[in-house]
Amino acid sequence: MQRLRRRLDNDRGTSAVEFAIVLPVFLLLVFGGLTFGLGLSAKAVFNEAAAGGARAAVGPYQAAYSAAITNGQSPSQAQAAGEAAAGTYAQQQAQNVVNGAGSIYSRSFTVPTPTFAQCASNQGTLCITVSVSGAPPINIGFGLPSSVNASYTVAVQ
């Protein structure tokens, strides 16, 4: 009986057991927080890239459209000229924003050709939409999405 009591009063090894229980929870919180933060940062970078590309497309579009109208082209021809001028410029600007944010974001992202369509809210106004999509820098699970998508629309008067 005395031997059993001595064994029950012995605290040797309890800190190792507590450490083994707490460490996985702690690591889950740390790496989950890092993954979430990097995903959120990627979303912000891609949002800024889409917005920058859409805003940058307005100038070349208006310049090409005005030049085409001045040269006697029809409005549809002028719109096609504006779309051609603005499309590649918008893509380049969006790619520059992502590349400028660091190589961690530029490893896998795409900027498809911007879309040009009549605005649903204001007929007669053209809307330019730029989209950016890609993978977050690190994704180790935790239920976070494996891709990040962002788009931005600008109305051209």
Bigger pLDDT: 67 or 123? 67
Mean pLDDT score of the chain, rounded to an integer? 83
| pTM of the predicted structure, to 2 decimals | 0.76
Instruction: Calculate the alpha carbon distances from 116 to 61, 84, 130, 131, 144 in Å.
Output: 10, 10, 9, 12, 32
Whether pLDDT at 1 is above 70: no
> In the chain, where are the structural domains located?
2-156
DSSP line for 87-121 = HHHHHHHHHHHHHHT-TTTTTSEE-PPPEEEE-SS
Bigger pLDDT: 13 or 155? 155
> Within 10 A of 88 (CB to CB), how many other CB atoms are there?
13
The token pair that represents 84 in the structure block:
């051609």
Tell me which residue of 56, 38, 57 sits closest to 134, measured CA to CA. Answer: 38
Q: Are 115 and 128 contacting, i.e. CB atoms less than 8 angstroms apart?
A: yes
Q: Which of the 8 DSSP states describes residue 156?
A: E
Lowest mean pLDDT among 1-10, 36-45, 118-127: 1-10
The token pair that represents 54 in the structure block:
């859409």
Rounded CA-CA distance 30/72 in Å is 63
Distance of CA 54 to the CA centre of its chain: 14
DSSP three-state, residue 74: coil
Lowest mean pLDDT among 13-27, 70-84, 98-112: 98-112
